[in-house]
Amino acid sequence: FPSHDIMWYAARLLTLIDSSFEEVMALNNAKLKARYGDKFTEYAALNRDLGKESSILEGGEDGK
């Protein structure tokens, strides 16, 4: 599929689940901030707090 087709399908899916690209990006940014703070480290990548990340993605701590 050309990339614009994939983006169209993603936009349709987000509309169906009453979400938006902006909301998804904000949640991902919050998750990455919780994982790495202000700077990526290999240690943080390998030793993540999956509970905290899940909570953020499910709308808890720092999530919307």
pLDDT at position 13 over 80: yes
pLDDT of residue 17: 95
pLDDT(29) > 80: yes
Residue 59: the pLDDT is 82
Alpha-helix residue ranges (DSSP H) falling in 1-64: 3-16, 21-36, 42-46, 50-57
Q: Quote the CA–CA distance of 33 and 18 in Å, as a whole number.
A: 24
User: What CA–CA distance (Å, rounded) separates 64 from 59?
Assistant: 5
| Planar angle of CA 61, 18, 62, nearest 5 degrees | 10
Residue 51 scores a pLDDT above 80:
yes
How confident is the model over 19-47, as a mean pLDDT?
94
